Amino acid sequence: MDKLLSGLRVLVVEDEHLILMMIEGWLSDLGCSAVTSAPSVDKALGLLAGQQFDVAMLDMNLGGSDSGVVAEALERHGVPFLYCTGNRASKEAKGELAHPVLKKPFSVEELAAALSRLIKADYSE
């Protein structure tokens, strides 16, 4: 579908199992070479300490925990990322975010476009 995503190693930090399965399938269809998932802040931090990722998707709310510490770790590791949220009263509405936000529910086309923009922006810096 989108050659720009071909071969990417993606970290998906998402605690909703059905949403995670959908995203994993879509990313596989889009050509990503590895999709690694983390359902919690602790799991995400552990994965970041031991693996390299090209890009990440980060749910803002992980089982009631704010994912801000994961966002900070992604920035320290130089991994471009976008937020995914279904929360209408999000930090984005308050203008507190410096990263793109993909609103749930989203389509595979919206996911591909958002990740493509993120990768292009990262490569152009």
- Could you state, in order of their start, the residue ranges of all structural domains in the chain? 3-124
Cβ distance 28 to 2 under 8 Å?
Answer: no
* 123 or 56: which leads in pLDDT: 56
Of 65 and 21, the structure prediction assigns the larger pLDDT to: 21
More reliable by pLDDT, 122 or 88:
122
> pTM score > 0.85 for this model?
yes
Q: How far apart are CA 102 and CA 59, in angstroms?
A: 9
Check whether domain 3-124 has CATH 3.40.640.10, yes or no: no
Confidence at residue 97, expressed as pLDDT on a 0 to 100 scale: 64
Q: How far apart are the first and last CA of the chain?
A: 25
pLDDT at 123 over 60: no
- The single-letter code of the amino acid at 39 is P
Q: How confident is the model at residue 87 (pLDDT cuts 50, 70, 90)?
A: confident
Asked if 84 contacts 59 with a C-beta cutoff of 8 angstroms, the reply is yes
Please tell me which residue, 49 or 3, carries the higher pLDDT value: 49
